[in-house]
């Protein structure tokens, strides 16, 4: 019992003698010595996606004879009854939400797993 008491006393004194050491610029010194940040992979990914999208737009424009398909699509929509336009709009919204939710899920998982 006395043995245990002595050990507890000793451990308590040891913990007492380990006071909090003030940072005093230590963290700043360490951060200063870190190698420069590597280029963000996300911005590189974004640039690739943007480039591919723009290229696809240009190819489509020329392949469709100056974007004539857009005019015919607008005519088709204009000829649709109102309820069908609602259905198409809701469908597009659901697809976009699904894609965004999946992207958010995979991004969160990547961050969690590191």
Summarize as ranges the residues that interact with other proteins (CB under 8 A).
5-7, 9-11, 13-23, 26-31, 33-34, 37-38, 40, 42, 110-114
Nearest to other proteins of 14, 82 (CB atom): 14
User: Taking the mean position of all CA atoms in its chain, how far away is CA 59?
Assistant: 29
Nearest to other proteins of 33, 68 (CB atom): 33
Q: Closest distance between other proteins and the C-beta of residue 9, in Å?
A: 5
Q: Closest distance between other proteins and the C-beta of residue 36, in Å?
A: 9
Q: Closest distance between other proteins and the C-beta of residue 49, in Å?
A: 18
Q: Closest distance between other proteins and the C-beta of residue 51, in Å?
A: 22
Task: Identify the CA nearest to 107 among candidates 41, 58, 63.
Answer: 41
**Count of alpha carbons within 13 angstroms of residue 69, beta-carbon side:** 7
Nearest to other proteins of 25, 81 (CB atom): 25
Pair of tokens at residue 33:
């010595």
Longest Cα separation, the chain? 95
3 φ, ψ (degrees, to nearest 5): -60, -50
């Amino acid at each position: 019992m006395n043995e245990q008491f002595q050990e507890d006393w000793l451990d308590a004194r040891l913990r007492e003698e380990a006071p909090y050491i003030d940072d005093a610029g230590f963290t700043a010194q360490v951060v200063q010595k870190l190698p420069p940040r590597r280029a963000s992979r996300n911005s590189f990914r974004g640039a690739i996606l943007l480039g591919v999208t723009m290229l696809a737009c240009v190819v489509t424009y020329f392949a469709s004879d100056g974007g004539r398909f857009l005019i015919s699509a607008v005519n088709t929509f204009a000829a649709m009854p109102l309820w069908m336009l609602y259905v198409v709009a809701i469908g597009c919204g659901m697809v976009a939400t699904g894609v965004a939710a999946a992207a958010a899920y995979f991004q969160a998982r990547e961050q969690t797993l590191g």
